[in-house]
Amino acid sequence: MSTSTEKGPPNTSTTHVSSGTVANHLRLIRVLSVCTWLLSTLLLNLASYLPLFDSSPRVVLNGSDSPFLRWDVFHFGHIATEGYIYEYEWAFFPGLPFFVMRLGAFVLHSLGILQSSSAFTWDNILKSGALIVAVTGANTTLYELTLELTGSPQMAFLSSLLSLLPSSPATLRLVPYTEPFFTFLSYKGMLYCARSRWFPALACFWLAANFRSNGFMLNGFIIWGMLVEPILFHRKMRWRRALNTLLMVFIAFMPFIGHQTVAYIAFCRNSSPGYNPPWCSNKMPLIYTYVQSKYWNSGFLLYWTLSQLPNFLLCAPVLALLLWFSAYYILRVLLPYTLHFLFPHSLRIPNPPSALTSPLLTMKLAPHAIHAFLFTLLLLFASHTQIILRLAASMPFTYWAAAHLCLKYPVWGKRWVTWSVVWGAISIVLWATFLPPA
Q: What is the DSSP string of 45-114?
A: HHHTTSPPS--HHHHHTTT---TT--TTHHHHHHHHHH-S-SGGGGGS-TIIIIIIIIHHHHHHHHTTSS
Q: Are 163 and 142 in contact (CB under 8 A)?
A: yes
pLDDT at 10 over 50: no
Q: What integer is the mean pLDDT of 137-148?
A: 96
Amino acid at 175: V
The pLDDT, as a whole number, for residue 64 is 66
How many CA within 13 A on the CB side of residue 218? Answer: 36
Q: How much of the chain, in percent, has pLDDT values that exceed 70? A: 90
Task: Find the helix packing angle between 397-408 and 153-163, rounded to 10°.
Answer: 110
Q: Are 205 and 251 in contact (CB under 8 A)?
A: no
Residues in the chain: 438
pLDDT at 148 over 70: yes
Query: Residue 173 to residues 24, 45, 138, 181, 395: CA-CA distances in angstroms?
Result: 23, 14, 10, 10, 16
d(CA 82, CA 249): 32
* pLDDT confidence band for 11 (50 / 70 / 90): very low
pLDDT at 121 over 90: no
* pLDDT confidence band for 12 (50 / 70 / 90): very low
* pLDDT confidence band for 8 (50 / 70 / 90): very low
The pLDDT, as a whole number, for residue 16 is 62
The pLDDT, as a whole number, for residue 198 is 97
pLDDT at 6 over 50: no
Q: What integer is the mean pLDDT of 101-124?
A: 74
Q: What integer is the mean pLDDT of 50-75?
A: 86
d(CA 365, CA 397): 8
Whole-number mean pLDDT of the chain? Answer: 90
More confident residue, 321 or 232: 321
Give the residue from 14, 435, 20 showing the smallest Cα distance to 191: 14
Q: What integer is the mean pLDDT of 213-237?
A: 90
Least confident among 31-40, 66-75, 396-405, 406-415: 66-75
Amino acid at 363: M
The pLDDT, as a whole number, for residue 65 is 67
How many CA within 13 A on the CB side of residue 361? Answer: 17
Q: What integer is the mean pLDDT of 142-162?
A: 97
Q: Are 13 and 395 in contact (CB under 8 A)?
A: no
CA quadruple 14, 19, 25, 26: dihedral positive or negative?
positive
The pLDDT, as a whole number, for residue 124 is 80
Q: Are 326 and 376 in contact (CB under 8 A)?
A: yes
Question: Which range scores top for mean pLDDT: 90-104, 108-122, 149-163?
Answer: 149-163
* pLDDT confidence band for 388 (50 / 70 / 90): very high
* pLDDT confidence band for 353 (50 / 70 / 90): low
Q: What is the pLDDT of residues 358-384, one digit of tens each?
A: 899 999 999 999 999 999 999 999 999
The pLDDT, as a whole number, for residue 303 is 94
Q: How much of the chain, in percent, has pLDDT values that exceed 90? A: 71
Q: What integer is the mean pLDDT of 291-297?
A: 93
Instruction: Supply the DSSP symbol for 354.
Output: P
The pLDDT, as a whole number, for residue 81 is 87
**What's the alpha-carbon Rg for the chain, to the nearest Å?**
23
Whole-model pTM? Answer: 0.92
Q: What integer is the mean pLDDT of 263-278?
A: 83
pLDDT at 100 over 90: no
* pLDDT confidence band for 29 (50 / 70 / 90): very high
Query: Residue 118 to residues 114, 121, 131: CA-CA distances in angstroms?
Result: 9, 6, 18
The pLDDT, as a whole number, for residue 237 is 76
